[in-house]
């Protein structure tokens, strides 16, 4: 059988490099770039430090992307990080990642985005009661899951459209502010950073955590490796291009915000992008940005609906999750039960958890496994030196080590500053151990 001939028992290889770029950019550009700059400005107060945080976060993100690409090219199959963790550390670690991804990480991300969609930006246009806001969040999740059940090409097409809209809009925001706003270039350097102190280092670290949250999402592209026509080429290339474009766009956006407003004003703005557009071209600009953010959030949520079910599909194929989730739809050739399961659980979280609680659970759970995944590059270099690696990490071992250190820092920082929520996230992960033992025993039987 040809590599990309549809097989009803497997997922068809029909996606190309543009789909990878769409997934990477679409899942990275969510609500973070519109929300996070205010918290970073409030903590650091200096525009030079603010921009340094975005540059440092971008470099660490790119280092992680370089390392993930080596693993993706070596293991071009559905499941991505689940497969890499399983190969490096054994099936229990891979299972715990998939377990956490389902219960907290991606389901929590989708729920967080849906709640942000219905409570923070949709009310800009339509007044909603608390019940109506919950219904809107659930409706968004249901719509995205339905599109992705009807075919991976449809899900990828929706992703590419939403990504194109928000990329063009964010680029347009930068151009509009620089051309039409009567800004001040002095905002780029004033006020100057304070004297070096451990307190300043701590504030920079907290700001870096927030920036890395805004950069989150590039890792999701690996989950769909099993549906790429040429995964050994398209996955690394798509990750490189997608992350580089987002990093550039984020830095330009922050320069535009600073051109329009001094750091102190940004710190007090709940909707800095809308305020910048309002300053540049009036109220119509603010309304346009709020409308675009709805597309941006939808695209980020769709990226997770498109990719995450492939992890549960791979786990079920290994006999380590509900058997139904291993099934492929006979007509649409998608892991439909895995998509439905993710949608139902994400909707449940959106109805029961607050925006901030879900955010904390996602951050803590994700970065533990992100650190382990990039460490797998080093582990597998030693454990399986003969493994075919069509792409090898540039800058090895410095680039993966720097990313690993950032992942450890974020995890420790989250524990220190949000201990109870972090322990709740850790408990959810550890509950996967008895679940793994149950499914593993069933598999042996």
Tens of pLDDT, residue by residue, the chain (445 residues): 334 433 346 889 999 999 999 999 999 998 788 888 999 999 888 999 999 999 999 999 999 999 999 999 999 988 999 999 999 999 999 999 999 999 888 898 899 889 888 988 888 888 899 899 999 999 999 999 999 999 999 999 999 999 999 899 889 999 999 999 888 999 998 888 877 777 777 788 888 888 888 898 889 999 999 999 999 899 999 999 999 999 999 999 999 999 999 999 999 987 888 889 989 998 888 788 888 889 999 999 999 999 999 999 999 999 999 999 999 999 999 999 999 999 999 999 888 865 556 666 667 778 899 999 999 999 999 999 999 999 999 999 999 999 999 899 888 877 887 788 788 888 888 999 999 999 999 888 7
What are φ and ψ of residue 8, in 5° steps?
A: -65, -15
- The closest of 351, 304, 317, 375 to 105, measured between CA atoms, is 304
CA separation for the pair 85, 351 (Å, rounded):
32
DSSP 346-377: HHHHHHHS-HHHHHHHHHHHHHHHHHHHHHHH
Nearest to 261 by CA among 171, 182, 173: 182
DSSP state of 8: T
Distance CA 212, CA 419 (A): 20
Number of Cβ atoms within 10 Å of the Cβ of 117 = 26
* Both structure tokens of 279: 């300053």
Per-residue pLDDT at 93:
96
CB 215 within 8 A of CB 58: yes
Is the CB of residue 106 less than 8 Å from the CB of residue 422? no
What is the C-alpha to C-alpha distance for residues 346 and 323, in angstroms, rounded to an integer? 20
- What is the reported pLDDT for 360? 67
Q: Report the CATH fold assignment for 17-444.
A: Amino acid/polyamine transporter I (1.20.1740)
Distance CA 325, CA 95 (A): 14
- Is 316:128 a contact under the CB 8 Å cutoff? no
Contact 154/14 with Cβ under 8 angstroms? no
Judge whether 330 and 61 are in contact, CB under 8 Å.
no
Neighbouring CB atoms inside 10 A of 109's CB total 29
């Amino acid at each position: 059988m040809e590599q990309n001939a549809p097989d009803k028992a497997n997922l068809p290889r029909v996606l190309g490099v543009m789909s990878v770029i769409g997934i990477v950019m679409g899942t990275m550009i969510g609500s973070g770039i519109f929300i996070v700059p205010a918290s970073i400005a409030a903590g650091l107060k200096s525009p030079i430090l603010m921009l340094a945080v975005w540059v440092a976060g971008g470099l660490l993100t790119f280092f992680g992307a370089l390392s993930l690409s080596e693993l993706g090219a070596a293991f071009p199959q559905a499941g991505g990080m689940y497969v890499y963790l399983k190969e490096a550390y054994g099936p229990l670690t891979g299972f715990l990642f998939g377990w956490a991804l389902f219960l907290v990480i991606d389901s929590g991300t989708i729920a967080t985005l849906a709640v942000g969609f219905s409570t923070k930006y949709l009310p800009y246009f339509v007044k909603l009661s608390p019940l109506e806001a919950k219904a809107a969040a659930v409706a968004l999740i249901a719509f995205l899951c339905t599109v992705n059940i009807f075919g991976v090409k449809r899900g990828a097409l929706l992703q590419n459209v939403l990504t194109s809209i928000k990329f063009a809009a964010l680029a347009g925001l930068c151009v509009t502010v620089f051309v039409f706003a009567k800004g001040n270039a002095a905002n780029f350097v004033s006020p100057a950073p304070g004297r070096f102190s451990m307190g300043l280092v701590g504030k920079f670290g907290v700001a870096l955590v927030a920036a890395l949250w805004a950069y989150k999402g590039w890792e999701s592209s690996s989950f769909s490796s099993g549906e790429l026509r040429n995964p050994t080429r398209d996955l690394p290339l798509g990750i490189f291009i997608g992350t580089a474009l987002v990093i550039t766009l984020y830095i330009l956006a922050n320069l535009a915000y600073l051109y329009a407003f001094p750091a102190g004003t940004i710190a007090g703005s709940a909707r800095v992008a809308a305020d910048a557009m309002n300053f540049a071209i009036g109220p119509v600009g603010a309304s346009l940005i709020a409308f675009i953010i709805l597309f941006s959030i939808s695209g980020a949520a769709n990226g997770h609906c498109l990719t995450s079910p492939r992890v549960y599909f791979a786990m079920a194929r290994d006999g380590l999750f509900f058997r139904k989730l291993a099934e492929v739809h006979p007509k649409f050739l998608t892991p439909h039960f895995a998509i439905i399961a993710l949608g139902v659980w994400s909707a449940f979280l959106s109805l029961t958890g607050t925006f901030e609680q879900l955010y904390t659970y996602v951050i803590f759970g994700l970065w533990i496994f992100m650190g382990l995944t990039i460490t797998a590059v080093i582990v597998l270099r030693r454990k399986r030196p003969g493994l075919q690696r069509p792409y090898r990490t540039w800058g090895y071992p410095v680039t993966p080590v720097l990313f690993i250190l950032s992942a450890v820092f974020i995890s420790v920082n989250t524990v220190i500053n949000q201990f109870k929520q972090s322990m709740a996230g850790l408990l959810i992960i550890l509950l996967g151990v008895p679940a793994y033992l149950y499914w593993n025993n069933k598999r042996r039987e």
